[in-house]
Structure 1
Amino acid sequence: MNTQPDAQDFQHKDTAGAHLVRAIPTARPETPVSEVITQLSGQIFDCADTVFVTDAAGRLEGIVRINDLLAHGTRTVAEIMEPEHEAVSRGADQEDIAKLAIRLNMIVVPVVDDAGRLIGAVPPEALFRILRDEHMEDLQRLAGIGAHHAGPDAALDAPIRNRLARRLPWLVFGLLASTLVTLVMVRFEETLASHVTVAFFVPALVYIAGAIGSQAVSVAVRGLATHDVSISALLRDEIVIGLGIGAALGVLSGLGVLIGFGDARLSLAVGLAVLCGGAISSLVGFALPWVFQRLGSDPALGSGPICTVIQDASSLLIYFAAVSLLIL
C-alpha cells in the first residue's frame, strides 16, 4: 500500500482524506494469525490498533482488532476477522465518519477508493479530534454563531471583525423577528393598560419558554446525530416531558400568584400559560432542528433566535388569550 499522502487528501479539511493515515497493518484472509504477528513485529505504523484484511486486489474484506489477533495465535485471519466491515470514501464528511464510529463502536475507520480498495484509515486520535470539533461547532451554531472556515478552534482566535461578522447576522434576524413578539404585546395593549399586574409575569413566561425549548433543542440535535434512536419516539417523549414540566411549573407559579396577589383567575391564567407554553416550546425546540435537517441544513441552526422568537410569541399569545377569557 502507498504510504505517501496524496495532494487531494488535503484539499478538503473536513473529509476523510484530510484525516487518514496510510501506514497501517494489513493481512490476507488465509494467512495464519501467528504468521501475521511475526510479519508485524518490528514494523512502525501510523495506526496499529486494527489489522485490515484485504484480498489479492487490495479490496477490504474485514478487520481484526489487535487484541483478537493476539488471543488466537493458532487460527487463520479469516476465522477471527469481522467480515464485510463498513468503510468510508476519501471524500466522506468528517461528521459522517464520527457517526459511523459511534454507531459501530469503531476505534479506527477504514477508508477505501471507488473500487473498494483500502487506501488508509482514520485513526483514533483523529476521531477524537473530529468529535471535539463537531461538538464545538454545534455549540457555536446553537448560540447562533456562524461556522469558521478553519474550524471552531480558529474561530476563537479569529480577528474581531470576523467574529463580529459570524455572530451579527443571526442576531439581526432575531431582532427583526422579535417584532412578532412586539405585535403580540400591541395586540393586547388594552388588557395590559387595564390590568397592570398582567405584565408582571411576562418575563417569567418568556424565560420558562426559552429554557424548556433550549433543553428540547439539545435533545433533538443529539437524537438526530444518532442513527439508532427513533426520532418519533423522542418527539413523543419530549411532548410528554414538556407537558409534565409545564404542569409542575404551572402549579407552582399559579400558587405563587394566588398567594402573592390573591387573584384566582390571574393565577389560573398564568398556570395555563406555563402549562401550554411548556408543551409548545418542547414541540418547537425539538421539531425545528428536524425540519432544518430535512431541508439539508445543520440541525443545530434550529436553535438560537428562531426558536426563541417562536417560543416567546406563542407563550405570550397563550397567556394573553387566557387573560382575555378569564379576567376581561
Structure 2
Amino acid sequence: MLLDTKVARERISFETAAQHATTRIPVFPPDRLVGDARATLMSHHYDCASHIMVCEDQRFLGLVRIEDLLGAPADAALDDLMDRDAPTVTPHEDQEIAAWRAVRHGESALTVVDANGRLVGVIPPHRLLAVLLWEHEEDLTRLGGFIKGTESARTSSEEAVERRFQHRIPWLLVGLIGALLAANFVERFQNQLESTLMLAFFLPGIVYLADAVGTQTETVVVRGLSVGASMGQMLRRELLVGLAIGLTLALVAGPLVWWIWGATDVALCVGLAVFAACGTATLAAMALPWLLSTLSLDPAFGSGPLATVIQDLLSILIYFAIASVLI
C-alpha cells in the first residue's frame, strides 16, 4: 500500500527533510509475510522501493532493506526482518543534517517521521545525493567569500562582467585594507628588519602556515556547525590539534633554519613564531564562525577573506613581537 499523504500536509520551510521526502513508498504492517510483500512490490510502482517501511496505524516501527526482503523465506514475517533502530529525522530537520545522518549510519535512504512517530515519507537515495552535492557546492562557494547561495554558484559562470565584479570586489577590498594594515605593521618593525634582514626571509612562510592551519580549522568548524555539532564539542579538540600542529612545525622549522642559515636567534624566533601563529590561527578560525553563528548569520562566511586577513595580521604581529624580544 502507499502512505496516506494527509500525514504530510503540514506546511514546511525551505531546505528541510520533508521537502525531499516521497510518500510513494511500500508500507506494510509488521505481520505481513515476506512472500505477500514481494508480490505487492511487483504489482505497484514506487518512487523508492529500496527500503520497505513497517508501520502499525501509520506509526513507524522499523524498516526492511530490499536486499533482506529478497533473500528471506516467503513465510517469514516482516517483524522478524525489520531494523528497529533505523535512523530517522523530523520533517523540519535541515536537509544537510538529514543527509549526513544517513551517511553516518550507512543508509542509502532516510525515514522522515513526525513528533508522534508517524511516518511522513522517505528521502530516496537520489535526493540524498543531490542534497550532499548541493551543500558541497554551497560550502565551496561560501569558502571563496564572494557568493552566498548555491543557485548563484551554479549560474556564476554565465554571469555578466558587471555581476562578477559586484560579487567579488567587496571581499577583495577587505583584503586590500588588510594588506595595507600588514604593511603598516611591518613598517613599525623597520628597525628589527634593518638590523637583521634575514627576518624578512621567513615572513611569507609563517603567514602561509598560519593561513593553512586556520583554513583547515575553519572547514571543520563550519561543517560541524552546519550539521548541528556544538562549539563545545569541537573547541577542545581543535585547539589541541592546532597547538600540536604548531609545535610539530616549530620543531621542524627551527632546526632547519639554524642548520641552513646558522642563525640561532633567528631560528628560535621562527620556531616560536610558527608555534604561536598556528595556535592563534586556530583560535581565530573557531571564534569567527562561532560569532557569526551566534549573531544568526551564516557561519560559512567566517571562512572567507575576512578570517584570512585577521590571521595574516596576527601572524605578522606575533612574528615581529617575538623578534623584537629575542633579536
Per the TM superposition, whether the score is higher than 0.5 is yes
Could you say which residue in structure 2 is the equivalent of 1:274? 274
Does structure 1 conserve the Cα–Cα contact (< 8 Å) formed by 2:253 and 2:270? no
Secondary structure of residue in 2 paired with 1:132: helix
Residue 257 of structure 2 is aligned to residue 256 of structure 1: no
Could you say which residue in structure 2 is the equivalent of 1:55? 56
Superposed displacement of residue 167, structure 1 = 2.8
Secondary structure of residue in 1 paired with 2:301: helix
Q: TM-score, normalised by structure 2?
A: 0.83
CA distance in structure 1 between the aligned counterparts of 2:27 and 2:248, rounded to whole angstroms: 55
Does structure 2 conserve the Cα–Cα contact (< 8 Å) formed by 1:254 and 1:271? no
Indicate how the Cα distance of structure 1 residues 241 and 203 shifts in structure 2: closer, same or farther if over 3 A, else same: closer
Superposed displacement of residue 94, structure 1 = 1.4
Secondary structure of residue in 1 paired with 2:23: coil
Deviates more, 1:304-313 or 1:25-34: 304-313
CA RMSD of aligned residues (A): 3.2
Indicate how the Cα distance of structure 1 residues 10 and 282 shifts in structure 2: closer, same or farther if over 3 A, else same: closer
Residue 239 of structure 2 is aligned to residue 235 of structure 1: yes
Does structure 2 conserve the Cα–Cα contact (< 8 Å) formed by 1:219 and 1:286? no
Secondary structure of residue in 1 paired with 2:206: helix
Indicate how the Cα distance of structure 1 residues 159 and 50 shifts in structure 2: closer, same or farther if over 3 A, else same: farther
CA offsets 1:1-33 (integer angstroms, 9 cap, x no match) = 3579x9998973x23344222211111122222
CA distance in structure 2 between the aligned counterparts of 1:92 and 1:165, rounded to whole angstroms: 34
Q: Map 1:197-212 onto structure 2 (within 5 A).
A: 197-212=198-213
Could you say which residue in structure 2 is the equivalent of 1:111? 112
Could you say which residue in structure 1 is the equivalent of 2:71? 71
Superposed displacement of residue 131, structure 1 = 0.8
Indicate how the Cα distance of structure 1 residues 201 and 240 shifts in structure 2: closer, same or farther if over 3 A, else same: closer
CA distance in structure 2 between the aligned counterparts of 1:163 and 1:88, rounded to whole angstroms: 38
CA distance in structure 1 between the aligned counterparts of 2:50 and 2:108, rounded to whole angstroms: 8
Indicate how the Cα distance of structure 1 residues 220 and 249 shifts in structure 2: closer, same or farther if over 3 A, else same: farther
Q: Map 1:63-212 onto structure 2 (within 5 A).
A: 63-73=63-73, 74-83=75-84, 85-113=86-114, 115-148=116-149, 150=151, 152-212=153-213
Does structure 2 conserve the Cα–Cα contact (< 8 Å) formed by 1:133 and 1:151? no
CA offsets 1:92-139 (integer angstroms, 9 cap, x no match) = 321121122123222111234565432322110111111111111111
Superposed displacement of residue 298, structure 1 = 4.1
Indicate how the Cα distance of structure 1 residues 205 and 86 shifts in structure 2: closer, same or farther if over 3 A, else same: closer
Indicate how the Cα distance of structure 1 residues 162 and 213 shifts in structure 2: closer, same or farther if over 3 A, else same: same
Does structure 2 conserve the Cα–Cα contact (< 8 Å) formed by 1:292 and 1:299? yes
Residue from 246, 250, 259 that aligns with 1:246: 250
Q: Percent identity?
A: 36
Indicate how the Cα distance of structure 1 residues 323 and 119 shifts in structure 2: closer, same or farther if over 3 A, else same: closer
Aligned amino acid, residue 134 of structure 1: E
Aligned amino acid, residue 271 of structure 1: G
Indicate how the Cα distance of structure 1 residues 214 and 51 shifts in structure 2: closer, same or farther if over 3 A, else same: same
Superposed displacement of residue 177, structure 1 = 4.2
CA offsets 1:255-285 (integer angstroms, 9 cap, x no match) = 3332xxxx43233323322232233333433
CA offsets 1:126-160 (integer angstroms, 9 cap, x no match) = 11111111111111112212222626423444444
Indicate how the Cα distance of structure 1 residues 312 and 155 shifts in structure 2: closer, same or farther if over 3 A, else same: same
Give ranges in structure 2 of 5+ residues lacking alignment: none
CA offsets 1:154-192 (integer angstroms, 9 cap, x no match) = 344444444433333333333334454244223323333
CA distance in structure 1 between the aligned counterparts of 2:11 and 2:170, rounded to whole angstroms: 33
Residue 303 of structure 2 is aligned to residue 303 of structure 1: yes
Q: TM-score, normalised by structure 1?
A: 0.82
CA distance in structure 2 between the aligned counterparts of 1:159 and 1:268, rounded to whole angstroms: 51
Aligned amino acid, residue 97 of structure 1: A
CA distance in structure 2 between the aligned counterparts of 1:18 and 1:279, rounded to whole angstroms: 42
